[in-house]
A and B are shown apart, each in its own frame.
Chain A
Amino acid sequence: MKTNKQAAREAKQLFRLCVSNGLLDEGRVRQVAEGVIRLQYRGYLAVLSHFRRLVKLDRERHTAEVESATPLPADLRASVQTGLEKLYGPGVDIQFAIRPSLIGGIRVKVGSDVYDGSVESELAALERSF
């Protein structure tokens, strides 16, 4: 559904209602979504799709994907967690995953920030520099 500027503006206002203390409140998001669907006013689909996009982007900004080649031991996990919470605040949702192609090291992606300490990326960088 194509969104126009008016729908984008309304969706942004609704999105701001759901944010409290800088964090997105899931309960409020559900309330807003259900309310809009129930009302079904003119152009509500465009507003809803843009609202969904804003929520998705916010979720991505506050989700950390930690990828490693082998499962991480518990103390390393804890230290990664504390480090990320210090950088991005308490609201960050950390997900651990295994990716053997990294060969070694870990790769952390939070929103659009990527901290890549994996062996695979270092090899790729060396390849580029030669």
Chain B
Amino acid sequence: MADLLQEIEAQIAAAKTTAGKQNVGTIREIADGVAKVEGLADAMLNEMIDLGHGITGLALDLGETEVGVIILGDYTKLEEGDEVRATGKLLQVPVGKGLLGRVVNTLGEPLDGKGPVRSDVAYPVEKIAPGIIRRRPVSQPVQTGIMAIDAMIPIGRGQRQLIIGDRSTGKTTIGIDTIISQARLNKAAEAAGDKEYRPLYCIYVAIGQKQSTIARIIATLEQAGAMPYTIIVASPASDSATSQYLAPFAGTAMGEWFMDNGMDALIIFDDLSKHAVAYRQVSLVLKRPSGREAYPGDVFTSTADCSNGRHASEKSMATVRSQLCRSSKLRPATSPLTSPPTSSRSRTGRFSWKPTYFTKAPAPRFPSASPSPALAPRHSSRP
């Protein structure tokens, strides 16, 4: 009883509030999941804005007279003239081992009906990546379980890997197979009591997919017993573009917790094409200048940011859906979505998946001294 009283007193003492300065604004216009807010003079970029009704937004566009706030939540409840407050914090998501085995949305809220997520720590969604000196070389393999890959083009812990291909070519399957294979290895090491083995935890970020597809993936993982080592961040196509845009960053933040605590993590983004589309929608509504095919100029950096080496002991695999090459002769073989910056790829210079959409063109001629089939030419000359 005395403990309880002490705890309550401690809580009351901790809950002291001070009348500090707050930053407020009024919603001038709200449309398409973006609110234009007048006021908010001291808003910071990517600051969380409290829009009332329990909805938060992110200040993405700092204009001269107004701030563009993208809304994370149900924007139908908001009205013109509502007062909004700046919270002074960056967007954060819950991280930690309590997330393993759970299905959460972009903000870390549970979607699987298993109760609230147990987490003590929250990591910011946007963070500066560690520099080169802090990184270790890639030395440990990640077993995908697919012999062709593990034998010929092995993937290592700390590497980025792109999985590219047309629809229904098995891109997601490679990711799921890797998760299941890693779970088996983790279990075997646990059963054998192997202290040297570092388990690899997997984070699967589903961006813009059908909810039935995500449900099927969860069922597959549960059947294979891989869920205790997996976090699923689900942002299906029915979610707002904002949620889909931020989902990879949330997944990365969760992976960074593992990295910061001496554990290894694998994060799979499925897929980044839909992420780029979501970012395009957000950018266009904010009236930012657009480039080719209306994608914003910084779509590459946004793609790279999610999978950038913010994770030194983390590995990321990204799937991208390519488009059939015959639609445009002048387009280079790698469509704009499919070439994230290659500078921080595997340091041994091993080639990642080359696009395989030369199916419509005649078979490319390899130079006679070509050492491996992976060296397919990048550009196909049209017949």
Q: Do A and B bind each other?
A: yes
Assuming the A-B contacts A115-B19, A125-B17, A130-B15, are A109 and B24 also in contact, with contact meaning beta carbons closer than 8 angstroms in the complex?
A: yes
Minimum Cβ distance to chain A for residue B9 (Å): 14
| Nearest CB in chain A: distance from B328 CB, A | 33
Cα A117 to Cα B22 in complex, Å, equals 11
Q: Binary interface profile of A, 41-60, with partner B (CB < 8 Å = 1, else 0)?
A: 00000000000011001001
Give residues of chain B (1-50) contacting chain A, Cβ–Cβ below 8 Å.
Answer: 11, 15, 17, 19-25, 38-42
Please give the distance in Å from A121's CB to the nearest CB on chain B: 8
Inter-chain contacts of A57 with B (CB < 8 A): 38, 65
Given A122-B17, A129-B15, the answer on whether A114 and B65 have CB atoms closer than 8 Å is no
B41 contacts A112, CB within 8 Å? yes
A126 CB within 8 Å of chain B: yes
The answer on a CB contact under 8 Å between A113 and B19 is no
Residue pair A112, B39 in contact (C-beta under 8 Å): yes
Interface size class of A (residues with CB under 8 A): 20 to 34
The answer on a CB contact under 8 Å between B21 and A113 is yes
Q: Which residues of chain A from 53 to 81 have a CB within 8 Å of any chain B CB?
A: 53-54, 57, 60-61
- Which residues of chain B in 55-96 are interfacial with respect to chain A, using CB atoms and an 8 Å cutoff? 65
Across the interface, do A117 and B23 meet the contact criterion of CB distance under 8 Å? no
In the assembled complex, A89 has its CB within 8 A of some CB on chain B: no
Q: Are A111 and B39 in contact (CB under 8 A)?
A: yes
Contacts of B38 in A (CB 8 A): 57
Q: Which among B11, B38, B39 has the greatest number of chain A C-beta atoms within 10 A?
A: B39
Residues of B within 8 A of A105 (CB): 19
User: How many A-B pairs fall under 8 Å by CB?
Assistant: 45
- B182 to chain A: closest CB distance in Å? 41
B24–A114 CB distance below 8 A:
yes
A85 on interface, CB distance cutoff 8 Å = no
Chain A residues within an 8 Å CB radius of B24:
109, 112-114
A126 near B15 (CB under 8 angstroms)? yes
- Smallest CB-CB separation from B65: which chain A residue? A57
Which residues on B sit within 8 Å (CB–CB) of A93? none
Verify if A10 is at the interface (C-beta below 8 Å from B).
Answer: no
Q: Which of B19, B20, B21 has the most CB of A within 10 A?
A: B19
Contacts of B23 in A (CB 8 A): 112-114
Which residues of A have CB within 8 Å of B22? 113-116
Contact partners of A129 in chain B: CB under 8 A:
15, 17
- Once the chains bind, are A117 and B19 in contact (CB under 8 Å)? yes
Bound Cα distance A122, B53 (Å): 18
What's the nearest-Cβ distance from chain B to residue A11, in Å? 11
The answer on a CB contact under 8 Å between B41 and A113 is: yes
Q: Which residues of A contact B15 (CB under 8 A)?
A: 126, 129-130
Are B25 and A112 within 8 A (Cβ)? yes
Which of B15, B40, B42 is most buried by chain A, counting CB atoms within 10 A of its CB? Answer: B15
Give the chain B neighbours of A61 by CB distance below 8 A. Answer: 41
List of B residues within 8 angstroms of A115 by Cβ: 19-22
Contact between B65 and A53, CB atoms less than 8 A apart: yes
Contacts of A111 in B (CB 8 A): 39, 41
Name the contact of B42 in the complex, choosing from A53, A60, A112, A121 (C-beta under 8 A).
Answer: A112
Docked pose: A113 CA to B154 CA in angstroms: 56
Interface string of A81-94 (1 = CB under 8 A from B): 00000000000000
Across the interface, name the chain B residue whose C-beta is closest to A130.
B15
Residues of A within 8 A of B39 (CB): 60, 111-112
Interface residues of B in 92-143 (CB under 8 A from A): none
CA distance A34 to B41 in the complex (A): 30
Q: What's the minimum C-beta distance from B216 to chain A, rounded to whole angstroms? A: 39
Expressed in whole angstroms, the Cα–Cα distance for A126 and B23 within the complex equals: 19
List, in ascending order, chain B residues with CB within 8 A of A113's CB.
21-24, 41-42
Give the docked Cα–Cα distance between A121 and B232 (Å): 38
Q: How far is the CA of A116 from the CA of B85 in the complex (A)?
A: 12
- Cβ contacts under 8 Å, A125 to chain B: 17
Contact B21 A112 (CB under 8 A): no
Query: Closest approach, in angstroms, between the C-beta of B73 and any C-beta of chain A?
Result: 17
User: Can you name 5 A-B residue pairings with CB atoms under 8 Å?
Assistant: A54-B65, A57-B65, A112-B40, A113-B22, A115-B19
13 other A-B residue contacts (CB within 8 Å) besides A113-B23, A126-B15: A54-B65, A57-B38, A60-B39, A111-B41, A112-B23, A112-B25, A112-B40, A113-B21, A113-B42, A115-B20, A122-B17, A122-B19, A125-B17
**CB-based closest 3 A-B pairs:** A112-B39, A117-B19, A125-B17
